Amino acid sequence: MGEADRVLVIGAGIVGISAALALQARGRAVTVLDRAGVAAGASAGNAGAFAFADILPLASPGIIARAPRWLLDPLGPLSIPPRHALAILPWLMRFWRASWRDRVEASTRAQAALMTHCAAALDRQLADTGAGHLIRAEGQLALYEPAARAAGEADWAMRAAHSVVAERLDGAAAIAEVQPGLAQRFTLGFFTPGWRNATDPLAFAEWLAQVFRDRGGRIERAEVRGLSADAEVATAHLADGAARRAGHLVLAAGAFSHLLAKSLGERLPLETERGYNVTLPPGEVELRTHLTFPSHGFVMTRIGSRIRVGGAVELGGLKLPPNHARGDAMLGKARSFLPGLPGTGGARWMGFRPSLPDSLPAIGRSAASPRVIHACGHGHLGLTQAAGTAELVADLVCGGTPALDLAPFRPDRFARFP
């Protein structure tokens, strides 16, 4: 097979592995490069949710007015460490523009269309790889206290307008029929019966990676320091001085993608949503469904036989040390919301989630070279959108017409904003 038919995928997270599988299915010889190995970052420590109902952007009208609170409450659902506040100002300017009503409506439409495509693509991926046994379909329950009732109703009305199906639950008794044992403070719930989860996101990613290897694909541990491209090939320059060349290169390096894009002369306004969780041993609580607490910024879900409490958004970049007090704060709330959770034995984790200001990923050709395809910036929706992104990437590499209008996801869409 000639060099033109070879593809390098940078990043062995769930997006990169899914892209490698999709390209392999189109007859391309694919090598995946990652400095740490398969699902070594956010793809291992997430909540395992295929959150196709999550179409609303993080930026919403009026949100920037709450920015001072993010600096003052280091344990809140959304925070900015003071040491990172100056560095993040350019991203916040774009985030503020993305929160204008016209932009919110446009990004919601684009996200809803992408989610529809990704849900169908996941079904195709599961059928192709035999990974269905790693998926459970127990729905998701979003819970609201009286003070957050109006906001919850507005959010789910917007989702309904984009064909998201949910059952409204009024009162603690109706909620208890879905999930017993919750604190009585929650008086409104929305249950999405079609919601699915990976039983364990790490096991799911490893399964897909093994299928890729079994079909002749290669996954190598290598640190990529920079990229270059000319009219015919793209090149990954490695830390040991070696170079790898291929007809196309897919940049799916998660929160580190903007650093490699910079070597091509591109500036992606990619920030890091540092997510925290605590994974508990089995306890007395029977968790029947994936629980979401939107007002508090975290979820509770089962990972195998364990219970994972995690979420929140800390816009803190790649260099600051973890603040595990955030995970502890979520766990404290979780124990008050669902009494009976195990009191000891939790494993802490922090991971980097790559976030663009409008909550949409970057999917498309590099402005620097058509030989480089971006597939990054999925925020907390990497697992959800991996299979669909992979098909779109394969369309671009192989010269097909993408199944979705990719204009809202152009990697250079922020270039005109000062």
Residue 219's pLDDT is what? 98
Banded model confidence at residue 5, pLDDT cuts 50, 70, 90: confident
pLDDT at residue number 61: 84
Structural domain count of the chain:
1
pTM above 0.85, yes or no: yes
Q: What is the pLDDT of residues 33-70, one digit of tens each?
A: 999 999 999 999 999 999 999 999 999 887 777 767 77
Q: Output the pLDDT for position 340.
A: 86
pLDDT computed for residue 418 by the predictor: 45
Residue-range definition of the domain harbouring residue 318: 3-139+194-409
Rounded CA-CA distance 109/198 in Å is: 26
Mind listing the pLDDT tens digit for each residue in 137-182? 999 999 999 999 999 999 999 999 999 999 999 999 999 999 999 9
Q: Determine, yes or no, domain membership for 102.
A: yes
Residue 177 lies in a domain: no
Model confidence at 323: pLDDT above 90: yes
Q: Are 24 and 216 in contact (CB under 8 A)?
A: yes
Q: Rounded distance, CA 193 to CA 130, Å? A: 23
CATH code, domain carrying 376: 3.50.50.60
Q: Which amino acid is at 74?
A: P
pLDDT tens per residue across span 234-281:
999 999 999 999 999 999 999 999 999 999 999 999 999 999 999 999
Q: Which of 256, 261, 250 is nearest to 271 (CA)?
A: 256
Q: Is 54 exposed, middle or buried (0-12, 13-18, 19+ CB in 10 A)?
A: buried
CB 74 within 8 A of CB 323: yes
What beta strand segments (E) does 73-222 contain? Answer: 78-79, 135-136, 140-144, 167-170, 188-192, 196-198, 218-221
Percent of the chain at pLDDT > 70 equals: 99
Residue with tokens 């093994």: 210
- Flag whether 224 is in a domain: yes
Burial environment of residue 370 by CB neighbours within 10 A (0 to 12, 13 to 18, 19 or more)? middle
Residue 378 above 70 pLDDT?
Answer: yes
The arithmetic mean of pLDDT across residues 72-79, rounded, is 85
DSSP summary character for residue 282:
P
**Could you tell me if residue 153 is inside a domain?**
no
Contact by Cβ (8 Å): 129, 17: no
Contacts of 283 (CB under 8 A, 6+ apart): 307, 340, 341, 342
Average pLDDT value for residue range 88-99: 93
Does some domain include residue 180? no
Q: 3-class SS at 408?
A: helix
In percent, how much of the chain has pLDDT > 90?
89
The answer for 39, left when phi > 0, alpha when psi is -120 to 50, beta otherwise, is: left
**Domain-embedded: residue 117:** yes
Q: Determine, yes or no, domain membership for 185.
A: no
In whole numbers, what is the pLDDT of the chain averaged over residues?
94
pLDDT at 27 (0 to 100): 96
User: Which structure tokens are listed for 277?
Assistant: 């969780």
Give 97's pLDDT tier (boundaries 50, 70, 90). very high
In a domain, 94, yes or no: yes
Q: Which token pair is 210?
A: 């093994």
Identify whether the C-beta of residue 313 lies closer than 8 Å to the C-beta of residue 77.
yes
Structure tokens at 360: 């949409």
